[in-house]
Amino acid sequence: MRHHGHSTPPAPADTAALPRSDWATLSRLLPYLWQYKWRVLAAIAFMLAAKVANVGVPVLLKNLVDAMSIQPGQPAALLVVPVGLLLAYGGLRLSTSFFTELRELVFSKATQGAARAIALQTFEHLHALSLRFHLERQTGGMTRDIERGVRGIESLISFSLFNIGATLIEVLLVLSVLGVKFDVWFAGITLAALVCYIAFTVWVTEWRTQFRREANEFDSAAHSKAIDSLLNYETVKYFNNEAFEAQRYDQSLQRLRTARLKAQTTLSMLNAGQQVIIAVGLVAMLWRATEGVAAGRMTLGDLVMVNAFMIQLYIPLNFLGVMYREIKQSLTDLDKMFTLMDREREVADAPSAQALVVPPEGAALCFENVHFAYDPARPILKGISFDVPAGKTVAVVGPSGSGKSTLARLLFRFYDIQQGRITLAGQELRQLTQGSVRQAIGIVPQDTVLFNDTVEYNIAYGRPGASRAEVEEAASAARIHDFIAATPKGYATMVGERGLKLSGGEKQRVAIARTLLKNPPILIFDEATSALDSANERAIQAELSSVAQNKTALVIAHRLSTVVDAHEILVMEAGQIIERGTHAQLLAANGRYATMWALQQSGEAA
């Protein structure tokens, strides 16, 4: 973060280079859940109740089997004892399901609330990041990371707390029952089998995590290529490159297929090893129990109880590999989302930043010896100084690459300057809140990008909440109302992805209407009429000149005919102002501006 000059733009932070431990990721998640602490505690209580009931089922089953060993001719005992045990057995079974469903019901609000809060915070943070980050990102891969991260929250909580945690609690209860009721060998065999099972599962899952991570990376890469190609549909068609795009996508899918095959092969190895351990443990336990029954130390009910305990334990353990893998993957996915949230803001408000105060007479704009470079090796602005008095219009002209559009980006604080200062109404830009600065500036950009929504939505975006009458008034001023009204759906017409259903001129007029609706005290016109025909350009230019009356306006233009009425014209070249003055003064100076004017006039005449 930079708030003062004489610094170079930082390289984008690669926080992914510093891997976060699983415990650190979990600790980041806990505060979101702890906002629902009573639900968390209630869910844990229901989970414990469900496990106690579950462990009670084999115990009752044992008593039920033993109760059947009665003397012939005792109908009362046959009727009363087993019926009571059967009812208790059914009640415990029902209690297990009942408490489990109560747990899910109580905890779902906490899970969904945490997922919503994290997703919203990530979304807000992404909007707060600098333009540099968004120019370098891959939209498809990033949205995939967020989607997987949100989904990973639910998986992580479900598997870690209510599957792994619940299974461990059940293991402790079973070991306690076996150790107290029988000899220590039963608890020892069970514990040894569990330790071997868990150690093998963790070891193999850790080893095969790399293949799952590779698969995810290739999945994101394939998704990014597909999204990028579809967004640039017209360019693909222009150059007849459908086969080339399909080949690129297929290469990504092939890498994804190879990684997924490795993941599946190692999963089969994991499952086979788990079954061997379970089988050995189960045989050892049943052998010990059968020997006990034969020796008279144990009843038939005890044998049934031991077998039921083993089945109850090993059914969830069968999924331990899946659960552990999902937990690890969820932690990885969640960490990626937290990494996005940890991405440092290149341009941030100073701790003492104040809101911009625009005086009644308007906000004067001043660049004082401004130096700026996107990359330190390639300076863009070299000591730029100029003033736009309050309520006046200053135009900037010059060849492409001279740094004209960079002025607008700096005013919006998409980047911070390295040297000099920019002031609005006498207030230093870096000491103002970005929100208040952007609220006070309206821009018609050179390249208009629209939301994939209706025409009305895109115009009203300049001032959300504006009435339909205000939207239509702005559209009329931008000379697009008649066109919209003539379409079958009128203002409900969808503009398509990035506004591709509209022509360049129509998109530009929507952008002008949007800015007119915002009605800010400071206006920036960056080649605002470049996509318009001459007749529409003259009409809209007159409208823009009328709107700019008594407003501070910075006009960036290529066509000099659109800026002849500006109070001052600046001629930029290679990041420097080489000429300045009114249209008449610059023509009289017979310099670079006069040459450009002559060339454009001869071109129009031809």
Residue 559 predicted with pLDDT over 70 = yes
Please report the pLDDT score of residue 570 as a whole number: 92
Q: What is the DSSP letter of 18?
A: S
Q: Average pLDDT of 210-233?
A: 80
Residue 1 predicted with pLDDT over 50 = no
Pair 362, 443: CB distance under 8 Å:
no
Edge to edge, the sheet with strand 552-557 lists 441-444, 522-526, 552-557, 393-397, 568-573, 576-581
Please report the pLDDT score of residue 244 as a whole number: 87
Number of H helices, E strands in the chain: 20, 10
Please report the pLDDT score of residue 75 as a whole number: 56
Please report the pLDDT score of residue 7 as a whole number: 39
Q: Average pLDDT of 367-395?
A: 88
Domain ranges in the chain are: 16-342, 365-605
Alpha-carbon span 538 to 534, nearest angstrom? 6
Please report the pLDDT score of residue 11 as a whole number: 40
Residue 90 predicted with pLDDT over 80 = no
Q: Average pLDDT of 413-436?
A: 87
Confidence of residue 532 (pLDDT cuts 50, 70, 90): low
Residue 465 predicted with pLDDT over 80 = yes
CATH code of domain 16-342 = 1.20.1560.10
Alpha-carbon span 333 to 328, nearest angstrom? 9
Please report the pLDDT score of residue 258 as a whole number: 86
Q: At what angle do helices 242-295 and 320-342 cross, to 10 degrees?
A: 140
Indicate the range of 89-93, 98-102, 304-308 predicted with least confidence.
89-93
Please report the pLDDT score of residue 6 as a whole number: 40
Residue 74 predicted with pLDDT over 60 = no
Residue 229 predicted with pLDDT over 50 = yes
Residue 4 predicted with pLDDT over 70 = no
Residue 15 predicted with pLDDT over 50 = no
Ramachandran sector of residue 13 (left: φ over 0; alpha: ψ -120 to 50; beta: rest): beta
Confidence of residue 366 (pLDDT cuts 50, 70, 90): very high
| Share above pLDDT 70 across residues of the chain, in percent, rounded to a whole number | 83
- For 272-291, the pLDDT digits (tens) are 888 888 888 888 888 887 88
Please report the pLDDT score of residue 374 as a whole number: 83
Average pLDDT, the chain: 78
Confidence of residue 157 (pLDDT cuts 50, 70, 90): confident
Which helix H or strand E contains 360, and what residues bound it?
none
Please report the pLDDT score of residue 89 as a whole number: 64
Confidence of residue 45 (pLDDT cuts 50, 70, 90): confident
Residue 369 predicted with pLDDT over 80 = yes
Asked if 16-342 and 365-605 have one fold, the answer is: no
Nearest CA among 466, 461, 460, 413 for reference residue 436:
413
The larger pLDDT score, comparing residue 373 to residue 211, is at 373
User: CATH 3.40.50.300: does it fit domain 365-605?
Assistant: yes
